[in-house]
Amino acid sequence: MQFTRSDFPEGFVFGTATSAYQIEGHGFGGAGATHWDSFAATPGNVARGENGALACDHYHRLEEDLDLLAGLGADAYRFSTSWARVLPEGRGQVNEAGLDFYDRLVDGLLTRGIKPAVTLYHWELPSPLADLGGWRNRDIAGWFADFAEVLMRRIGDRVWSVAPINEPWCVGWLSHFDGYHAPGLRDIRATARAMHHVLLAHGRAIQVMRGLGMSNLGAVCNFEWSTPANGGEAATRAATTYDAIYNRFFLGGLFKRAYPTEVLVGLGAHLPDGWQEDFETIAAPLDWLGLNYYTRKVIDHAPGPWPNYQEVEGPLEKTQMGWEVYPDGLRDFLIRTATEYTGDLPLYVTENGMANADTHNTPDTARITYLEQHLGAVQEAIAAGVPLHGYFTWSLMDNYEWALGYEKRFGLVHVDFETLERTPKASYQALAKWWRA
Ligand code: IFM
């Protein structure tokens, strides 16, 4: 890789990211059942029926994994906490072993000089709360705020940053409209409620953490650039709708106290009563915004009911996910977000990376190229004046890629899912070379 730390602003934070259900091994340590366990146990939902019961067994290999992070020279580590590990029923009785685990994780990072960047929720909803309607139920905002309080009373004095929820689009749209993620619903009313309640829960958790005196609190949204399939009016309108649902809905709620009209056309009739009054909570000031970025989609018109769009295959090189490699989208999102929504607020790239069919002994040169291209886009955004403060790769190690199971490899470290042996890949070495300097 061509970079050195001096190619980026002073104090720029480099790190890597993971999430609890994808690596920890949910079958251990008294963690309660989640909607991902039942979703994965339902035939047809997840490739090969795989689940997160063992995953990378990070729960038992914590020290080894933290040493890998230190060897990489990461300044920060973005990890998530499992609600059901801390509160097995989602509310009430605390699992002390769960709190102890996150305590050890935070201390293990600090001992190695690595900043703990916490995400409270990365998708594994406790089953008892799913039984009560999960993200469709407005009460989830209070349940989530209570979880935030229990956890932060234990580790909040030592964490560097906190974001309540990873990728609200996935929690809302992908899981309730597309049905690709747990709970696997395909229902427009459920979607409207989940999309709104996830923001309300975010806001309530921020309030609770401010009340505890915490700072450096943010939000993490995912973004996909949408390119019209052709120059026609219908494709352009379809791409605009895609952009509104995927990208502008959550930014609008968080920073403009409004949802885009293109989304209200479809979801407006299904939003809960009094939703506008919730912006007071949703749009409470933040200290930073994180952007997760991987790809763009080429979008065409689709007949039938709203939202009238469909993805079509694009011409660019693709990753193991079938996602096009499009670094310009990262630069353009950073510029657009700062210009239209966040101004001087510090931004971070909180996830970026690619899946590749890696083996433990073939150099992942495609990933090195992908990271180089996207770090180039980061530099262009900084040169254009974007107040970007850090960049996190997804992911530290190969892990459970949700509905696609263990086949899609995003890691800088190869994991053999038979032996659980970790082997740093060429991309890990390439980053370590200048991150450690
Ligand atoms: O693995 C996921 C992660 O859980 C959330 N962001 C995107 C990654 C790659 O699909």
Which residue among 167, 262, 324, 401 is the active-site one?
Answer: 167
Atom of ligand 1 nearest to the CA of 123: 4
For a substitution probing ligand 1, which of 401, 409, 412 has the most ligand atoms within 8 Å of its CB? 401
- d(Cα 23, Cα 182) in Å, to the nearest integer? 17
Query: CA separation (Å) from 47 to 42, 54, 175, 318, 321?
Result: 11, 16, 16, 20, 13
User: Is the CB of residue 165 less than 8 Å from the CB of residue 219?
Assistant: yes
- d(Cα 421, Cα 30) in Å, to the nearest integer? 24
Q: Whose CA is nearest to atom 9 of ligand 1?
A: 401
For a substitution probing ligand 1, which of 167, 171, 330, 400 has the most ligand atoms within 8 Å of its CB? 167
CB atoms within 10 A of CB 211: 11
User: Is the CB of residue 139 less than 8 Å from the CB of residue 132?
Assistant: yes
Nearest of 363, 357, 309 to residue 173 by alpha carbon: 309
CB atoms within 10 A of CB 42: 11
**Residue ranges lining ligand 1, Cβ < 6 Å:** 19, 22, 167, 292, 351, 394, 401, 410
Backbone angles phi, psi at 189, to 5 degrees: -70, -45
**pLDDT value at residue 437:** 86
**pLDDT value at residue 208:** 98
Structural domains in the chain plus CATH codes:
5-435 (3.20.20.80)
User: Is residue 351 annotated as a catalytic residue, yes or no?
Assistant: yes
Atom of ligand 1 nearest to the CA of 353: 9
For a substitution probing ligand 1, which of 394, 396, 397 has the most ligand atoms within 8 Å of its CB? 394
Atom of ligand 1 nearest to the CA of 292: 6
CA of 311 to the centre of ligand 1 (A): 19
- d(Cα 45, Cα 35) in Å, to the nearest integer? 12
The verdict on whether omega for the bond into residue 307 sits within 30 degrees of 0, i.e. cis, is yes
CA of 394 to the centre of ligand 1 (A): 7
CA of 402 to the centre of ligand 1 (A): 8
- d(Cα 190, Cα 181) in Å, to the nearest integer? 14
CA of 4 to the centre of ligand 1 (A): 27
Would strands 115-121 and 161-165 be described as parallel, antiparallel, or unpaired?
parallel
User: Is residue 313 annotated as a catalytic residue, yes or no?
Assistant: no
Atom of ligand 1 nearest to the CA of 355: 9
Q: Whose CA is nearest to atom 1 of ligand 1?
A: 401
Give, for all 437 residues of the chain, the pLDDT tens digit: 989 999 999 999 999 999 999 999 999 999 999 999 999 999 999 999 999 999 999 999 999 999 999 999 999 999 999 999 999 999 999 999 999 999 999 999 999 999 999 999 999 999 999 999 999 999 999 999 999 999 999 999 999 999 999 999 999 999 999 999 999 999 999 999 999 999 999 999 999 999 999 999 999 999 999 999 999 999 999 999 999 999 999 999 999 999 999 999 999 999 999 999 999 999 999 999 999 999 999 999 999 999 999 999 999 999 999 999 999 999 999 999 999 999 999 999 999 999 999 999 999 999 999 999 999 999 999 999 999 999 999 999 999 999 999 999 999 999 999 999 999 999 999 999 999 98
**pLDDT value at residue 198:** 98
CA of 401 to the centre of ligand 1 (A): 7
CA of 293 to the centre of ligand 1 (A): 10
- Taken as a whole, the chain contains a residue count of 437
Query: CA separation (Å) from 189 to 169, 176, 203, 265?
Result: 15, 9, 22, 13
Atom of ligand 1 nearest to the CA of 394: 8
